[in-house]
């Protein structure tokens, strides 16, 4: 009888618990550098999907295109190996199983958050200084400014809820990639979950570490501002302060809550209630 090429939900739970233990027991520099890579990879997904969708006027079609392209970021993370803040929230499963503690959980995601930020902001700076935002006679710059403005002006409660929704998508997708034992299976499992997340309009903090800084860096170029024709009063709202207060804080909290929700439910179902 041929061996099955996937893990069952109880086996996924055990695998995720063991993966959480491995993640927290690495040294600081390994975690940091793998997190920087993940920030770079997610930003690459943002760069590619923004380029593909920026000139599409129909909102639904633009989201569809974004959803079709953005998953390359998580594919790079999962298949190449890197540490993503949202995915590492699943370490809560090993914490629930008492194989890691709460300090290890928060310590790991704090390092990963910092590394993701470095990687994503670095890529945002590169793109903002590459000349690519002049594409479509400044239409790309307009798209970047509009995307960032919408993110930094979200009400706190909405950003929080959108962060929760996002990491339910992402962590459910991560668990599906753990289920697959081959590259094709992992890519397909990841693609559809992130495709849905990107279309949904929910908020992913690491993606936002690219989207908003890209606009902040771009607006330092007067030629790009003039070329885009974007309203100056809206540009004044795109600041580091507004990013951190109105987006990064609530979205980060929401992402943690969404990941903890999924992880805890799987632990309870397959490790607590079935014992």
* Span 211-240, pLDDT tens digits: 999 999 999 999 999 999 999 999 999 999
Torsion of CA 62, 216, 76, 68, to 10 degrees: 0
Q: Which residue has the tokens 């540009």?
A: 235
255: domain CATH number?
1.20.1080.10
Name the residue range of residue 254's domain: 9-272
Cα–Cα distance list, 19 to 14, 16, 25, 87, 180 (Å): 9, 5, 10, 11, 15
Q: What percent of the chain has pLDDT over 70?
A: 99
Q: Which residue has the tokens 């970021």?
A: 73
Average pLDDT value for residue range 170-192 = 93
Would residue 2 count as lying in a domain? no
- Single out the residue of 57, 51, 36, 203 nearest to residue 135, CA to CA: 51
Q: Bin 196: left if φ > 0, else alpha if -120 < ψ < 50, else beta.
A: alpha
What integer best gives the mean pLDDT of the chain? 95
**pLDDT tens per residue across span 71-108:** 999 999 999 999 999 999 999 999 999 999 999 999 99
Would residue 212 count as lying in a domain? yes
Would residue 97 count as lying in a domain? yes
**pLDDT tens per residue across span 3-30:** 678 899 999 999 999 999 999 999 999 9
Q: Which residue has the tokens 């959480």?
A: 20
Confidence (pTM): 0.95
Burial class (CB in 10 A: 0-12, 13-18, 19+), 103: exposed
**pLDDT band at residue 54, thresholds of 50, 70 and 90?**
very high
Q: Report the pLDDT value the prediction gives residue 180, as an integer from 0 to 100.
A: 92
Numbers of helices and strands, H then E, in the chain: 15, 0
**Number of domains forming the structure of the chain:** 1
Would residue 3 count as lying in a domain? no
Would residue 4 count as lying in a domain? no
């Amino acid at each position: 009888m041929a061996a099955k090429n996937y893990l069952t939900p109880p086996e996924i739970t055990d695998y995720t618990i063991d993966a959480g233990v491995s993640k927290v027991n690495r040294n600081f520099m390994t975690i940091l550098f793998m997190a920087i890579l993940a920030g770079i990879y997610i930003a690459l997904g943002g760069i590619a999907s923004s380029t593909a969708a920026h000139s599409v006027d129909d909102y639904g079609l633009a989201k569809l295109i974004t959803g079709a392209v953005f998953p390359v970021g998580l594919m790079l993370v999962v298949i190449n190996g890197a540490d993503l803040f949202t995915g590492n929230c699943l370490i809560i499963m090993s914490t629930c199983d008492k194989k890691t503690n709460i300090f290890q959980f928060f310590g790991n995601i704090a390092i990963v958050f910092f590394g993701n930020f470095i990687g994503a902001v670095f890529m945002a700076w590169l793109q903002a200084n590459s000349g690519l935002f002049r594409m479509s006679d400044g239409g790309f710059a307009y798209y970047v400014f509009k995307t960032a403005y919408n993110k930094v002006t979200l009400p706190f409660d909405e950003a929080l809820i959108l962060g929760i929704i996002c990491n339910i998508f992402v962590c459910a997708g991560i668990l599906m990639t753990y289920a697959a034992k081959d590259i094709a299976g992992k890519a397909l499992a990841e693609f559809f979950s992130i495709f849905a997340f990107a279309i949904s309009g929910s908020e992913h903090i690491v993606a936002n570490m690219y989207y908003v800084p890209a606009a902040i860096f771009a607006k330092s170029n007067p030629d790009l501002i003039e070329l885009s024709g974007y309203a100056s009063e809206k540009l004044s709202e795109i600041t580091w302060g507004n990013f951190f207060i109105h987006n990064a804080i609530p979205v980060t909290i929401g992402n943690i809550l969404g990941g903890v929700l999924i992880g805890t439910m799987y632990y309870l179902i397959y490790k607590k209630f079935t014992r």
